[in-house]
Structure 1
Amino acid sequence: MSDDGLPAPQRRRAVLVILLGIAVSVLDGTIMNLALPSIARDLQASAAQSVWVVNAYQIAILALLLPLASLGDLLGYRRVYLGGMALFVLASAVAMLAPNLGTLTGARALQGLGAAGIMSVNAALVRRVYPRALLGRGIALNSMVVATAAVAGPALAAVVLSVASWRWLFTLNLLLGALVFWLGWRALPANTAAATAGTRIAPMDVLLNVLTFSLVFIGADRLGVRGGGGELPPDAVLMLLAGLAVGFFYIRRQRTRVAPLFPVDLLQLPVFALSMGASVGAFCAQMLAYVALPFLLLEALGLTPLKAGLLIAAWPLAIMVVAPLAGRLIDRVPAGLLGGLGMLLLAAGLALLAALPERPADIELAWRLALCGLGFGLFQSPNNHTILTTPPPQRSGAASGMLGTARLTGQTLGAVLAALLFSLWTPHESQFGTDLALALSALFALASGVCSVLRVLATARTERSGRD
């Protein structure tokens, strides 16, 4: 392998592995939601207990993305990726045969650990595989797969559950994961850039990272589920405050590290920090909308599930159409302008959805949803390209981990905000909560667009400083 990507035949094989792996790990984050009622019934658990089948997976990913990204910088992205995939396959086998909810939840946590290994170095591998001239297109393809997989999970689960039990979802994971592991063993490249001198992973830093993200996630989840009526659950508030306190101490420790686990060194780069803020805002807007749209289409407009699903598909289909174009524009148009335009289109689409006429035609819904997808697709690839290429090559793992962390943080924030809004204004009783969620989603999209455009100014200042 050269310092400028893989030769074409090897690159195609490696890209296939990278895309399949990220698709499997992202799909698994949403594919279990529809199966929760049958899991609770079969394993004799309550609905509240069964939710941990989903939460365990998400918490494991959030808590371990950054440690495993740093491990990739030290040991090699290929090793972390294949180790994560092997654990994912093993955990899928345990989950498939789980006799009770405790075993299933533990298996899901292990699956999350495996998925964290895959996600943490996914973008770093993309940077290794593609030559610089094609990197924008490679990131666009990767972003398109992530966006499509994120919304395809429920549809795939519905197909499987219509003909088989929930255990077959894990059988599918096992088979796909085993295939990706075998292909990856043959195709993925080793690291070429040496880790930063003095880099190490302190166990205390890993513990603080796990505690920070776990406490904040659980506290936010409990706040979203139980909030409402003007009362804040004390346990949720305490967990949130504890998570923030641990996080403050943790980040202070990172300032003394040569290659910090939580990359405060990268966040000191204005362009990188603005790109992270834009990513969190964009994924928060997307998740708020994804939660609100089924209520709008099914409850407020009275559409059938089939018609609602077909209409919502306009969003990911639009992403698939525009993502390759965005990848080609990365080297011609400033990424900040592309991202800002994309978020403006997303905000416009969301605002138009919130202001729908009382009895809209299907085409009125479809073009608004497609506008949202076009905007998000135009934003995501240039933003990811900036996050990945701003740091030096030896910090590619850290940048890759932060890319995944921003996405999951934004999605978690969006889900919690949606839960809070719907606890105050029940969608079954009024459309106000749904419209408010879409309006708030549009505001987050606008905030993301502002962060994106500010990168143009930050880049100009950096270039002037370099010339001086």
Structure 2
Amino acid sequence: MDTTAQPEPVSLTPAGVPAAPVRDPGYKWVALSNTTIAMFMAAVNGSIILISLPAIFNGINIDPLTSFQYLLWILMGYGIVTATLLLSFGRLSDMYGRVRLYNIGFAIFTAGSLLLFLTPDTGDAGAIELIVFRLIQAVGAAFIFSNSAAILTDAFPPDERGKALGLNQVAALSGQFVGLIIGGILAAFHWRYVFLISVPFGVIGTIWAFMKLKEPDYPRRTQKIDIWGNLSFIGGLTIFLVGITYALLPYGSASMGWGNPFVIAALLTGILLLIAFPIIETRVKDPMFRMDLFKIRNFAFGNAAGFLSALARGGVMIVLIILLQGIWLPLHGYSFESTPFWAGVYMLPLTVGFVIMGPLSGIISDKYGARWISTLGMVLVGISFLILAILPYNFDYLPFALALLIMGLGNGMFSSPNAAAIMNSVPPEERGVSSGMMSTLMNSGFVLSMGMFFTIIVVGLTGAFPSMFSAALSAANATPLIPAMSAIPPTGALFAAFLGYNPVHMILAGLSPALLATVAPATLATLTGVAWFPTTLAQAFMPSLALSFYIGAGISFIAALLCAMRGEKYVVEIDGTGKDGGSSTDDPQEVSGGNVK
């Protein structure tokens, strides 16, 4: 029996262009459930590794404090690959079929998960294998991310797209936080289970997608692959993001690599190639991305706001994990070994807020448009940043939870209405590449955000940590240990906190017995206790953390302004007509046959 999905019959409007296809009423829920599983699975895998890294590094016999480069690539390599491939995959999907490439991506992602579970080696070889297999996962995730929104937009009518995209994005964000908890639980049994959990869901989801998802019959033009556009965009973004990653590594005697000639060359080369990309796209016959889509106000302002939103919040999860695991939880009696799991639990208000407002805001935007609800959402995110910025390091949990809840509510109010407004504003045959552009900007924002937050915090720690560490040793009557213990690099202290380690134990273990004998046993007990290192780290860490939160607030308020400037509701129907939800403030468009000219 042939199970290949056949194109649905398409009627023509009087103008001779395709009318909306008549679908099985239940198909839209099939599309929503399958893409939601895929987004949830991809999001879980993006965050589950944050919590389980200590167990993974122990499992492959890697010291995380001396393997910073592996740590960065495991954390950031996934985002770099997805960000650079999304736009190209979106265009390929418009040319060869969104469902077809989505299905391929689901299968690749599942294969990558299985390879991670089976990682054969240990030591440096094992770390490199983990990185390579994560990159394979990322290729599959890029196919999923670049097509999920387009598949939902095809499946749902305009007055239900916000709700559908809202549910889809709730799954994506909630998956990030569910991943924190699942990672903490599974890592306690065996690090390989962290990757195994995706395999059964991936196998079932892949088979289901191949059997049930249907390729819509939308207008397609025969066109060639834009080689120069792909090379300039993928090359430029890859080189630029790799430069950002290596800028976070120490270089010579400097704590960071911003002065590294390789980093400078990578950043300049990447910027030049990205500047060349729009010039190339306006001159080739079959461009990878039609730059004139940015003439559509909802598309242009929505994508700009989405990028700034990702830039503001992309690094928040990691710095909040550092704050909880390295400072707050130990000071409240939790052992360093247990902090990864409890950090996920204490961040649940962020998920709760998003789960509440994600679908609800989508329903509201379906009726009234995205303009004001997305604006209010980003204002709330900015306010939550300000609350976090003024909290002390030993805060009461209630105001911290309230700030996270507000941030979750705000992001929920912004994300699904913004995605629906972007996808509604483009012609059907451009939805794949438009979804790719939307996801590219968001994923690039996330990677850049991690670089920005890390840079602010590491620069602050580099200036403040050595002197505060020495002062704290003197106050603890451990002056003889200052020369030996002051050698700990600020980045080592930071990532020890991130991974749930107390580095004092490791430092003291490397000192000579004669030196340790010069310090009273009670002093050594103080240094290795749960309070001394977190308190010392907090004094150097909190000023930089507050600065990063103030910057996040400012970026969020700018994103809110862009949301307010997007104009009223604007929908491009399959017959090529644009409709608004009131008085349209969109720039005048000539829309013909689904093409914006």
> Structure 1 length as normaliser, TM-score?
0.91
Q: After the TM superposition, which residues 137-148 of structure 1 pair with which residues of structure 2 at under 5 Å, given as runs?
A: 137-148=163-174
Residues of 1 paired with 2:201 and 2:385: CA distance? 35
Question: 1:274 matched to which residue of 2?
Answer: 301
Question: 2:291 matched to which residue of 1?
Answer: 264
Residues of 2 paired with 1:335 and 1:437: CA distance? 28
Residue 378 of structure 2 contacts residue 414 of structure 2 at CA under 8 Å; is this kept in 1?
A: yes
- In the TM superposition, residue 282 of structure 1 has moved relative to its aligned partner by 0.9
Question: 1:399 matched to which residue of 2?
Answer: 434
* Correspondence for 2:192 among 152, 157, 167: 167
Seq. identity, % = 22
With over 3 angstroms needed to count, the CA separation of the structure-2 counterparts of 1:380 and 1:132, relative to structure 1, is same
With over 3 angstroms needed to count, the CA separation of the structure-2 counterparts of 1:364 and 1:184, relative to structure 1, is same
Question: 1:237 matched to which residue of 2?
Answer: 264
- In the TM superposition, residue 332 of structure 1 has moved relative to its aligned partner by 3.3
- In the TM superposition, residue 324 of structure 1 has moved relative to its aligned partner by 1.8
- In the TM superposition, residue 228 of structure 1 has moved relative to its aligned partner by 5.3
Cα deviation digits, residues 211-239 of structure 1 (max 9, x gap): 11211111111223447579633322211
Q: Identify the range of structure 1 (39-48 vs 376-385) with the bigger mean alpha-carbon deviation.
A: 39-48
Q: Identify the range of structure 1 (388-397 vs 457-466) with the bigger mean alpha-carbon deviation.
A: 457-466
Question: 1:110 matched to which residue of 2?
Answer: 136
Extract unaligned runs of 5+ from structure 2: 1-7, 11-19, 462-493, 495-536, 571-583, 591-597
* Correspondence for 2:361 among 326, 333, 351: 326
**How many matched pairs?**
465
Question: 1:13 matched to which residue of 2?
Answer: 30
* Correspondence for 1:255 among 263, 282, 296: 282
Cα deviation digits, residues 279-322 of structure 1 (max 9, x gap): 01111222233233234445554344366433321011111001
Residues of 2 paired with 1:15 and 1:461: CA distance? 31
Residues of 1 paired with 2:321 and 2:405: CA distance? 16
Q: Identify the range of structure 1 (340-349 vs 199-208) with the bigger mean alpha-carbon deviation.
A: 199-208
Q: After the TM superposition, which residues 183-262 of structure 1 pair with which residues of structure 2 at under 5 Å, given as runs?
A: 183-195=208-220, 197-226=221-250, 232-257=259-284, 260-262=287-289
- In the TM superposition, residue 88 of structure 1 has moved relative to its aligned partner by 1.8
Say if 2:72 is the partner of 1:48. no
Q: Identify the range of structure 1 (183-192 vs 374-383) with the bigger mean alpha-carbon deviation.
A: 183-192
Residues of 2 paired with 1:189 and 1:240: CA distance? 42
2:196 partner amino acid: T
* Correspondence for 1:94 among 90, 97, 115: 115
Residue 369 of structure 2 contacts residue 569 of structure 2 at CA under 8 Å; is this kept in 1?
A: no
Q: Identify the range of structure 1 (37-46 vs 341-350) with the bigger mean alpha-carbon deviation.
A: 37-46
Residues of 1 paired with 2:448 and 2:567: CA distance? 27
Structure number with greater Rg is: 2
Residue 368 of structure 2 contacts residue 569 of structure 2 at CA under 8 Å; is this kept in 1?
A: no
Residues of 1 paired with 2:387 and 2:77: CA distance? 36
Residues of 2 paired with 1:194 and 1:230: CA distance? 48
Residue 169 of structure 2 contacts residue 358 of structure 2 at CA under 8 Å; is this kept in 1?
A: yes
With over 3 angstroms needed to count, the CA separation of the structure-2 counterparts of 1:178 and 1:298, relative to structure 1, is closer
Residues of 1 paired with 2:22 and 2:255: CA distance? 52
Q: Identify the range of structure 1 (43-52 vs 7-16) with the bigger mean alpha-carbon deviation.
A: 43-52
Question: 1:65 matched to which residue of 2?
Answer: 86
Residue 353 of structure 2 contacts residue 412 of structure 2 at CA under 8 Å; is this kept in 1?
A: yes
With over 3 angstroms needed to count, the CA separation of the structure-2 counterparts of 1:432 and 1:79, relative to structure 1, is same
Extract unaligned runs of 5+ from structure 1: none
2:68 partner amino acid: A
Residues of 1 paired with 2:404 and 2:184: CA distance? 22
Residue 43 of structure 1 contacts residue 99 of structure 1 at CA under 8 Å; is this kept in 2?
A: no
Residue 301 of structure 2 contacts residue 565 of structure 2 at CA under 8 Å; is this kept in 1?
A: yes
Residues of 2 paired with 1:24 and 1:232: CA distance? 38
Question: 1:462 matched to which residue of 2?
Answer: 586
Cα deviation digits, residues 123-182 of structure 1 (max 9, x gap): 000111212221121011112111212233222211111112x22223222221111101
> Structure 2 length as normaliser, TM-score?
0.72
Residues of 2 paired with 1:6 and 1:146: CA distance? 26
Say if 2:316 is the partner of 1:289. yes
Residue 375 of structure 2 contacts residue 560 of structure 2 at CA under 8 Å; is this kept in 1?
A: yes
With over 3 angstroms needed to count, the CA separation of the structure-2 counterparts of 1:136 and 1:124, relative to structure 1, is same
Question: 1:355 matched to which residue of 2?
Answer: 390
Q: After the TM superposition, which residues 390-429 of structure 1 pair with which residues of structure 2 at under 5 Å, given as runs?
A: 390-426=425-461, 428=537, 429=540
Question: 1:176 matched to which residue of 2?
Answer: 201
With over 3 angstroms needed to count, the CA separation of the structure-2 counterparts of 1:347 and 1:4, relative to structure 1, is farther
- In the TM superposition, residue 258 of structure 1 has moved relative to its aligned partner by 5.2
- In the TM superposition, residue 401 of structure 1 has moved relative to its aligned partner by 0.5
Cα deviation digits, residues 68-116 of structure 1 (max 9, x gap): 1111101111100111111222232333223233433322222211111
Question: 2:509 matched to which residue of 1?
Answer: none
- In the TM superposition, residue 34 of structure 1 has moved relative to its aligned partner by 3.4
With over 3 angstroms needed to count, the CA separation of the structure-2 counterparts of 1:230 and 1:37, relative to structure 1, is closer
With over 3 angstroms needed to count, the CA separation of the structure-2 counterparts of 1:158 and 1:277, relative to structure 1, is same
